[in-house]
Structure formats: structure tokens, C-alpha cells
Amino acid sequence: MTLLDIALFGQTAVLMGTPLLLAALGEILTEKAGHMNLGVEGMMLAGAAAGFIAGFYTNSPALAFAAAGAAGAAGALIYAVLTVSLRANQIVTGFVLTIFLSGVANFVGSDLGNSTLGDGFTSVGDGGSFFSSIPFFGPVLFEQSRYVHFSLIMAAAVWIYLNKTSPGLSLRMVGENPSSADAAGIPVTFYKYSHILAGGFLCGAGGACLTLVIVKRWQESATAGMGWIAIALVIFAAWGPLKAVFGAYLFGALRGLSFKIQNAPISIGGRSLSVPAQILDLLPYIMTVVALILITLGKKRENQPPRSLGKPYFREER
């Protein structure tokens, strides 16, 4: 295997990990505000459909991106009204949101089954630039879609926002202890709404990455369970945006690895070992469970979930 082979493998892994990364970043923002939104799969699918429809009719990648994010945010708005203002059960609301948005997305997308995107979408790669000539990292990180670059920038931005800025600190406080935040004069409801909506926007963008970059076509239920892996990724990354980058590319690489080893069994000490693809497919979930156990055992404070995650906040109950 040459360096180029490894680089091409890495390129696929990063591409496959990007929708996961975007959705996971969105879910991190949402959970940091104390809300567990299990509607990620639905919001991704809504973004996938809206992005494709907008891209198909306007032929503009920018408008497609905006439409996808708006669709995800619109889904998140439903969730926010129900769980923040009406204090509905967050788990149930999230599930219902996934089922509802999957239906809507498959309905509005059903007429675009065989449609192809215009020329605006064909050259998503950044080949030929100065950066893409860097060995290994060129093809892996730079000869990629803009969505890959956007997701990496967002990961860094979310990390800085959460850890180095004052609104980020307020947000974490809302997620940890909303009554104290309220007492400190932080507008709790505003923080919850804005971050749930921003989370929805990123989930929608992740979905658009699927239909506009990876599959390049609207397919019914195109996400095929990616939203759930994204939620697992949030736990795997212990709510950290930078760890999520690592986790997303690891999960993406596992997906590519199952194709790689089909015809080239791994040999350890002269004995060839063939790993069934199904085992590789369930590795992300096993790793998430292991990560969760380690987080619980480790008791490291920054790795813990936000303390008020999943709990509705009543000001009167302070």
C-alpha cells in the first residue's frame, strides 16, 4: 500500500465522517443548552431533502446550503417550542420529530428521485490548488468538498465559543444549572432557543452534505441511520467539539475499512483473519458504549454530560 493509497482511503473516511461531524456539532450545542434532541436523524433528512430541492431548482450551492440549514432549524424550532416553552418530554419529542420529518422529507423529495444536480455542483473538490499539492494532507483534507472545510472550521469555532468566550460560558451554565443561570441574569429561554436552532441548522447542513456531495442524488431515507450514529458520536466525544472531529473521521474510516478488508483479509502473524462487515458496522456503537463506561468511571468533570440534560426548566420551581 503506497502513501497515495492511504491518502485516498483517508479522503473517503473524512468525506464519510463529515455529515456525522456536522450533526454531532449541532447536537453538542443543543445538549450544552441542556436539551437532548433525538430528532437529529429527522433534521438531517429534512436538510438533505431541502438542500437537494434548492440545489436542483436554483443550481446554487450557497442557496442549497442555506435551505438545508433553514430546514434543519425549522425542525429544531418545533422541538424548541415543545420542549422549552411547553416543557414536553424531550426524548419523546425528539423521536416524534424524527418520524415526522422523515415522512415530510420523503414526501417532498419523492418527485426528484432520478434528478441530477446542475454544473454548479460537479466540481466540489479543491484540486489543483497550492494546498492540495501537500503530500498526504493535500488529498485528505484539501482536495475535498467545501462542506469538509466548513465542518472543520465549525468544530474549531464551537470549541473556542464554548471554552473561551463569555456567551459560551453562559451557555454551559444554562445546561448545568439553569436556575443559577437565571438568577445570574442570563436569558435562559433565549439561550435554549438560539442554540437548539443553531444545532438544527448544523444537522440540516450535515444532511445536505449527504445528498449534495456524497450521494449527489435525493434517495428516500438517504441518511439511513446516520443521525443516530451522530448522537452516539456526541457521547463518544464526551461533548467536546475537537474530540468529535477525531471520532467522526474514525467512524468514517470504519465505514471505508469494511470495503477495504473484504478482498484483502488482515493477516496477523501469518494467519489471515477475515472480519465480517457486520462486525465493523456495529463497532461505532460498541466504542460509544465503552466510551460511556470510561466517562462514568473516570469522573473527570469536563467529560460529564451537562447536569440538567433532559430536564425541563420551570422558573417557578427554583
Partner 1 sequence: MRKDIFVSFLSVIISTVLIFGALGELKAANAELKPIAKEDIKAAFIYGSPVGKEGYAFAHDKGRRALEQLGYKATALEGIPETTQFEKSVRDLIEQGYNVIYATSFGYGRYVERLADQYPNVYFNHATGDVTKTNLATYMGRLYQSQYLAGIAAALKTKSDKIGYVVSFPIPEVVSQVNAFTLGARSVNPKAVVEVKWTNSWYDPVAESGAGLELVNTGSDVIMAYLDTMSAQIAAAEKGAFAIGCSSSGAEALPKAYLTAPIFDWAKFYTADIERVVKGTWKGEFQFFGLESGVVEIDALTDNNADSAREAVQKAHDAIASGLLDVFAGEIKDNAGKVRVEAGRSLTDEQILTLDWFVEGVVGSIK
Instruction: Catalog residues that contact partner 1 under the rule CB under 8 A.
Output: 5, 8-9, 11-12, 15-16, 106, 110, 113-116, 122, 210, 214-217, 219-220, 222, 224, 226, 255-256, 259-260, 262-263, 274, 276-278, 281
Query: Based on CB atoms, which residue is closest to partner 1, 141 or 198?
Result: 141
> Nearest-CA neighbor of 19 among 282, 212, 159?
212
* Cα atoms found within 13 Å of the Cα of residue 286, Cβ hemisphere only: 7
Query: Based on CB atoms, which residue is closest to partner 1, 214 or 287?
Result: 214
Smallest gap, in angstroms, from Cβ of residue 281 to partner 1? 8
> Nearest-CA neighbor of 261 among 271, 250, 272?
272
Q: What contacts 24+ positions apart, CB below 8 Å, involve 290-295?
A: 291/235, 291/236, 291/238, 292/235, 295/235, 295/238
Backbone angles phi, psi at 298, to 5 degrees: -65, -30
Helix, strand, or coil (residue 228)? helix
Cell of 314: 420551570
Smallest gap, in angstroms, from Cβ of residue 266 to partner 1? 14
Query: Based on CB atoms, which residue is closest to partner 1, 154 or 210?
Result: 210
Query: Based on CB atoms, which residue is closest to partner 1, 275 or 295?
Result: 275
Smallest gap, in angstroms, from Cβ of residue 258 to partner 1? 8
Smallest gap, in angstroms, from Cβ of residue 81 to partner 1? 31
CA torsion through residues 289, 21, 54, 216, sign: negative
Query: Based on CB atoms, which residue is closest to partner 1, 166 or 263?
Result: 263
Smallest gap, in angstroms, from Cβ of residue 181 to partner 1? 39
Smallest gap, in angstroms, from Cβ of residue 23 to partner 1? 13
Query: Based on CB atoms, which residue is closest to partner 1, 8 or 295?
Result: 8
Q: What is the largest CA-CA distance in the chain?
A: 68
Q: Where are the alpha helices (DSSP H) in the chain?
A: 3-32, 40-58, 61-80, 90-109, 137, 146-164, 166-176, 178-183, 188-208, 226-236, 241-260, 277-298
What does the alpha-carbon distance between residue 82 and residue 120 come to, in Å, rounded to a whole number? Answer: 38
Smallest gap, in angstroms, from Cβ of residue 219 to partner 1? 4
Cell of 231: 448522537
Helix, strand, or coil (residue 268)? strand
Query: Based on CB atoms, which residue is closest to partner 1, 132 or 177?
Result: 132
Helix, strand, or coil (residue 73)? helix
Specify whether the CB–CB gap between 67 and 198 falls below 8 A: no
Smallest gap, in angstroms, from Cβ of residue 147 to partner 1? 14
Strand partners, 267: 272
Query: Based on CB atoms, which residue is closest to partner 1, 85 or 110?
Result: 110
